[in-house]
């Protein structure tokens, strides 16, 4: 068998961990143990190293990976396709408008019909408060039923590609970016990250990115400062999770009233727009009650409220208030860039341009995060699967 020293060390570390991810789903990061989060990061390290060394990571010979996007996406959609292809699966995109879902097909029926030869299902359902995560759990329960009754010979895993509560593939890619930037997860302890609202000329941005950041980074002893204008609260349950994680890890979690206060002395800043919780609740209610004609008035009101806070922009002046004036800027992309993508936005052109390549590197980890989630939920012994693939000695590409 071929052995690659750097990868072997990482495989040994992964082998020493005991996780219960096999035959499970990956929906919310706070449902996973510290060991399971560490295992995902181990596999990310291994897969990134294999890719860099031109080693094939095709642990599957056949099988489908179904993607179901109920919202628009660039990075996550292509990351899911890249991840599944990396592992040897064929991605199939389920377009609800071209399926029997449009004719009233139930979640229970859809889940089973698409899963006969499927290894994993990636779902993005992030726009409707109290609906996205609920849909994913209903989908997962339908798979449980199909497998238990013998309809499905295997039970695919469900991967959360963003819901109303969490965006685990994004937050874990962000965490990997921080680990690489600061030279190890142990070096994140005590680092201050400012997770702040920022102005956007659109109103309906999900809450799941800031919720994912505050609930994950507090697990690693970080000092997390959350800032937003009055009325732009996050889901209360996620704030409680962040508080609990900070207390357990010895980190900090606090809410402050301004972007400037959050940025003060920060090592990392993450200015990102999101919609007020109550607006997203109202939006969901109108759609559920088929009152879509009232959405225009809700949007007008929300945009007018956003406009009160145009000064919530990440700019050079605010960045000078960070630690040594050199904080790492992060964003899940696409960012609303002032005088580039919009007249007024989340970040000035000068700040974004300075950190543009860093945000691209941040995004580059996401395919490997998704691949790690799939691998750990599909293989009882992921180390054996990876070692078998490495042992074949196949190149990812010739030349």
* pLDDT score of 103: 64
Give the pLDDT band of residue 283 (cuts 50, 70, 90).
confident
Q: Is 12 exposed, middle or buried (0-12, 13-18, 19+ CB in 10 A)?
A: exposed
Are residue 227 and residue 204 in the same domain, yes or no?
yes
Q: Which structural domain, as residue segments, surrounds residue 110? A: 5-166+364-392
Q: What is the mean pLDDT of residues 232-251?
A: 97
176-198 pLDDT, tens digit each: 999 999 999 999 999 999 999 99
Percent of the chain that is helix, strand, coil (3-state, to 5): 50, 15, 35
User: Is residue 206, in this structure, part of any structural domain at all?
Assistant: yes
User: Is residue 200, in this structure, part of any structural domain at all?
Assistant: yes
Are residue 127 and residue 161 in the same domain, yes or no?
yes
Beta bridge partners of 9: none
Asked if residue 382 lies in contact with residue 43, where contact means CB atoms within 8 angstroms, the answer is yes
Are residue 383 and residue 333 in the same domain, yes or no?
no
Q: Is 290 exposed, middle or buried (0-12, 13-18, 19+ CB in 10 A)?
A: exposed
What's the sign of the alpha-carbon dihedral 145, 148, 153, 157? positive
Coil/strand/helix, residue 114: coil
Are residue 194 and residue 333 in the same domain, yes or no?
yes
In this structure, the number of other CB atoms found within 10 A of the CB of residue 348 comes to 21
Beta bridge partners of 270: 195
* pLDDT score of 6: 83
The CATH number for 285's domain is 3.40.50.1370
pLDDT at 157 over 60: yes
Are residue 179 and residue 31 in the same domain, yes or no?
no
* pLDDT score of 289: 86
Q: What is the mean pLDDT of the chain?
A: 95
User: Is residue 274, in this structure, part of any structural domain at all?
Assistant: yes
Q: Pairing relation of β-strands 118-125 and 64-69? A: parallel
Give the pLDDT band of residue 399 (cuts 50, 70, 90).
low
Q: What is the pTM of this model?
A: 0.96
Region of poorest pLDDT, from 75-79, 141-145, 294-298: 294-298
Are residue 27 and residue 127 in the same domain, yes or no?
yes
* pLDDT score of 67: 97
Are residue 379 and residue 328 in the same domain, yes or no?
no
Are residue 306 and residue 321 in the same domain, yes or no?
yes
68-117 pLDDT, tens digit each: 998 888 899 999 999 999 999 999 999 887 777 766 789 999 999 999 99
Give the pLDDT band of residue 265 (cuts 50, 70, 90).
very high
pLDDT at 1 over 60: no
User: Is residue 397, in this structure, part of any structural domain at all?
Assistant: no
* pLDDT score of 101: 72
The verdict on whether omega for the bond into residue 212 sits within 30 degrees of 0, i.e. cis, is no
* Helical ranges in 118-273 per DSSP H: 132-148, 168-182, 208-217, 236-249, 259-263
48-75 pLDDT, tens digit each: 999 999 999 999 999 999 999 988 888 9
Q: How far apart are CA 257 and CA 226, in angstroms?
A: 8
Are residue 40 and residue 189 in the same domain, yes or no?
no
Angle formed at CA 240 by CA 270 and CA 333, multiple of 5 degrees:
25
Distance from the first to the final alpha carbon of the chain? 21
Are residue 329 and residue 221 in the same domain, yes or no?
yes
Total structural domains in the chain?
A: 2
Are residue 160 and residue 13 in the same domain, yes or no?
yes
User: Is residue 378, in this structure, part of any structural domain at all?
Assistant: yes
Are residue 19 and residue 138 in the same domain, yes or no?
yes
């Amino acid at each position: 068998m071929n052995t690659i020293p750097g990868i072997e060390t990482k495989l040994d570390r992964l082998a020493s961990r005991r996780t219960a991810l096999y035959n499970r789903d990956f929906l919310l990061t706070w449902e996973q143990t510290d060991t399971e989060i560490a295992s995902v990061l181990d596999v990310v390290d291994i897969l990134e190293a294999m890719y860099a060394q031109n080693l094939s990571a095709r642990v599957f010979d056949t099988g489908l990976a179904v993607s179901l996007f109920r919202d628009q996406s660039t990075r996550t959609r292509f990351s899911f396709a890249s991840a599944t292809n990396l592992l040897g699966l064929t991605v199939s995109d389920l377009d609800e408008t071209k399926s029997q879902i449009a004719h009233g097909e139930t979640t229970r029926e859809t889940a089973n019909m698409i899963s006969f030869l499927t290894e994993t299902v990636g779902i993005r359902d992030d726009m409707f408060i109290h609906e996205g995560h609920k849909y994913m759990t209903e989908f997962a329960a339908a798979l449980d039923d199909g497998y238990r009754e013998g309809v499905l010979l295997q039970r695919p895993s469900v991967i959360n590609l963003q819901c109303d509560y969490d965006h685990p593939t994004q937050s874990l890619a962000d965490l990997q970016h921080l680990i690489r930037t600061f030279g190890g997860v142990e070096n994140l302890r005590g680092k201050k990250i400012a997770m702040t609202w920022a102005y956007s000329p659109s109103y309906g941005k999900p809450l799941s990115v800031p919720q994912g950041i505050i609930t994950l980074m507090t697990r690693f002893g970080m000092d997390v400062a959350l800032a937003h204008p009055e009325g732009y609260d996050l889901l209360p349950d996620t704030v409680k999770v962040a508080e609990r994680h900070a207390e357990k890890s010895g980190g900090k979690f606090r809410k402050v009233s301004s972007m400037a206060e959050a940025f003060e002395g920060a090592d990392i800043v993450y200015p990102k727009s999101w919609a007020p919780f109550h607006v997203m609740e109202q939006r969901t209610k109108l759609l559920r009650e088929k009152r879509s004609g009232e959405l225009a008035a809700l949007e007008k009101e929300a945009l007018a409220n956003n406009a009160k806070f145009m000064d919530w922009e990440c700019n050079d002046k605010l960045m000078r208030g960070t630690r040594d004036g050199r904080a790492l800027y992060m964003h899940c992309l696409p960012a609303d860039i002032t005088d580039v993508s919009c007249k007024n936005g989340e970040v000035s052109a000068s700040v974004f341009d300075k950190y543009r390549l860093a945000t691209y590197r941040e995004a580059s980890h996401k395919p490997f995060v998704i691949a790690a989630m799939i691998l750990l939920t599909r293989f009882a012994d992921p180390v054996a699967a990876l070692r078998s693939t490495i042992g074949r000695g196949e190149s990812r590409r010739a030349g």
